[in-house]
Chain A
Amino acid sequence: MAPRLKLFLPLLIFVVMSIFLFRGLSLDPQALPSALIDQPLPEFSLPVLGQERLIQRQDIVGEAALLNVWATWCVSCRVEHPYLVQIGARGIPIYGINYKDEDAAAQRWLTDLGDPYRANIVDREGTLGLDLGVYGAPETYLVDANGVIRYRHVGVVDERVWQTILQPLYQQLIVEGVPEGVDG
């Protein structure tokens, strides 16, 4: 290498590092790729919040829906909740997974803050959460009509997340419709 060009080496290294570091600014280090993307929703049989019946996987499979993992001890869930009420009111099917919570507290939460959920699955021991690879609430899964998990969002679902990520995917699933036969 010509000696003059060698002088630019530090600049070059700086530029390359800057590109990597700049990219790092917009990455969320906490976000993990879900191992369950494009995998079927795990089987479960758990109580429904506030009811004397059990809910199974086949009860919620059949149309594209959101599965929202929440709990009353989770501060971000409180931030997220009003927005879920909004999109729930627009007719988006949302199922709640009440993760490691107390039933009474969860029911109070829903009466006080509104209930956007079709039904709430009571996951008191976190077993369904474990099968889903949940590592913290809130998490929101997008499940298609065949019961296959298509997307996971970790963290609060707000206007921006819904508009830019979840809604386009959801619309796409609606367009795809219900393919022949229901798996599982």
Chain B
Amino acid sequence: MMTRALYLMLLLLVPATALAVIETYEFSDPELELRYRQLSLELRCPKCQNQNIADSNAPISQDLRKLLYQQLEAGADDEEILDYMVARYGEFVRYRPRYDGVTAVLWLAPVFLLLAGIVLARLTLRSRRKNALQPSGLSMADEEELRSLLDKTEKKS
């Protein structure tokens, strides 16, 4: 009895949204369904620009999913499908655009920024090490006074 109640309570945790499939297509081959999922994750909705077409229920995404389904069933390969989409919506429609003059910034920026970060980190570390080795430039008397002042403030607090 107890376990039954527990099971029922666990069922409440299943999010309803996960079951709200927008539409389902029957594929003739499970492999096609897999490719459908991959491609719909990789294609971007032109209307709601930060969602992929699997994620979006904008009418244009529904159309693109339908088109994707039809093309997969017609036996098109991934490259053909992506070319078809790019010819109509531009490289924008892919989350992994082809490398060319315009998208070079997109592809190379992470590498460039990482290298810049490494160089910056090395320079900062080196100058910090150098500073640590250098004498402070204070005379013996000044050092003494500084220490006593520091001691005083520490005692106060």
How many chain B residues touch A (Cβ–Cβ < 8 Å)? 13
Q: Which residues of A contact B87 (CB under 8 A)?
A: 35
B88 touching A130 by the CB < 8 A rule?
A: yes
- CA distance in complex: A63, B87 (Å): 25
Smallest distance from the beta carbon of A22 to chain B beta carbons, Å? Answer: 20
Q: Which of A29, A33, A35, A135 contacts B60 (CB 8 A)?
A: A135
- CA distance in complex: A133, B44 (Å): 13
- Which A residue sits closest to B92, measured CB to CB? A32
Interface residues of A in 4-33 (CB under 8 A from B): 29-30, 32-33
Question: Do A131 and B88 form a contact, CB below 8 Å, given A100-B59, A126-B63?
Answer: yes
B90 touching A135 by the CB < 8 A rule?
A: no
Interface string of B81-100 (1 = CB under 8 A from A): 00000111110100000000
- CA distance in complex: A117, B61 (Å): 29
How many chain A residues touch B (Cβ–Cβ < 8 Å)? 16
Q: Which residues of A contact B67 (CB under 8 A)?
A: 130
Interface string of B53-97 (1 = CB under 8 A from A): 000000110010001000000000000000000111110100000
Interface residues of A in 135-172 (CB under 8 A from B): 135-136
A173 within 8 A of B: no
Q: Which residues of A contact B59 (CB under 8 A)?
A: 100, 126
B86 touching A135 by the CB < 8 A rule?
A: no
B88 touching A136 by the CB < 8 A rule?
A: no
Q: Which of B60, B89, B90 contacts A136 (CB 8 A)?
A: B60
- CA distance in complex: A126, B47 (Å): 15
Interface string of A17-58 (1 = CB under 8 A from B): 000000000000110111110000000000000000000000
- CA distance in complex: A29, B92 (Å): 12
A35 touching B49 by the CB < 8 A rule?
A: no
Q: List 10 A-B contacts (CB under 8 A).
A: A30-B49, A32-B89, A33-B92, A35-B87, A36-B88, A130-B63, A133-B89, A133-B90, A135-B89, A136-B60
